[in-house]
Structure 1
Amino acid sequence: MKIALIAHDEKKDDMINFAISYKHILKEHALFATGTTGQRIAEATGLDVHRFNSGPLGGDQQIGAKISENEMDLVIFFKDPLTAQPHEPDISALMRLCDVYQIPLVTNLAGAEVMIRALEAGFFHWRDVIDA
């Protein structure tokens, strides 16, 4: 599966800890991330992470383009709900594309843990049904 990992500044440590905790699952998948988040994940885990630009510099839009081209399967986006983001329209567009193209999107640690455990258990076959 192709998994996008995104985290706002105040949530980057949570994303790094998540990636470390679930490295054994993530290593089986193609990982993509926005700039600094991807760099920090790669440094902390040794995982291969394709890095796009940072979110404010177009990284969210680059991931959105991959979604629209059917080249992304899951988005894990640790959003900071307490801080205004200068690129909020890009974030909204990314979330809208997930809805349009039926791409699962989780926006917090609890949702990410449920999704990654479902992925590990093999309960993630929705793409097989759509592609059939």
Structure 2
Amino acid sequence: DITILKSGPLGGDQQIGSRIVEGEIDYLFFFTDPMTLQPHDTDVKALTRLAGVENIVFCCNRSTADHIITSPLFTDPTYERIHPDYTNYTQRFENKGIISEAVEQVKKRRNKSENNISK
């Protein structure tokens, strides 16, 4: 399916980003004029980053598009991209108690060392 969204500066980049995160996009063909400054350059960079994070096929020029479209994987119904597992990253703050305990232990050791030095 091909879906046409809004222009980038009008929120189209965010629409694409949202669809990437929701797993609705497997291939992104995103063409810009490389000789023209983009008013939404940071949004374009964010899309590039999201494509890498979500491991989707991303192309920004004709040569890459030609290679993707002619690849046997492009039409292979059994091909599935690898979805990265970010469980450890998303749960990194769940062990905050362990970190707090470690910080407290370091503080106690410092206080003990300072008390021994001052005696």
Q: Deviations over 1:33-54 (max 9, x none)?
A: xxxxxxxxxxxxxxxxxx2211
Q: Deviations over 1:89-124 (max 9, x none)?
A: 11111111000000110110010011011114x288
Q: Secondary structure at the match of 2:30?
A: strand
1:54 equivalent in alignment to 2:25: no
Aligned length: 82
- 1:86 aligns with 39
Q: Secondary structure at the match of 2:24?
A: coil
1:66 equivalent in alignment to 2:19: yes
Residues in 1 aligned to 2:52 and 2:78: alpha-carbon distance in whole angstroms: 17
1:95 equivalent in alignment to 2:66: no
User: Structure 1 vs Structure 2: percent identity of aligned residues?
Assistant: 41
Call closer, same or farther: CA 1:59–1:124 in 2, change over 3 Å. farther
Q: 1:76: Cα distance to partner? A: 0.7
Q: TM-score, normalised by structure 1?
A: 0.56
Match of 2:30 among 60, 65, 77: 77
Q: TM-score, normalised by structure 2?
A: 0.62
Q: Secondary structure at the match of 2:35?
A: coil
Q: 1:79: Cα distance to partner? A: 2.3
Say which one has the larger Rg: 2
Q: Which runs of 4+ in 1 moved over 4 A?
A: none
CA contact (8 A) 2:28 2:56 kept: yes
Instruction: Kindly indicate which of the two structures has a greater share of residues assigned to strand.
Output: 1
Call closer, same or farther: CA 1:83–1:69 in 2, change over 3 Å. same
Call closer, same or farther: CA 1:82–1:123 in 2, change over 3 Å. farther
Larger relative contact order, structure 1 or 2 (CA cutoff 8 Å, min sep 6) = 1
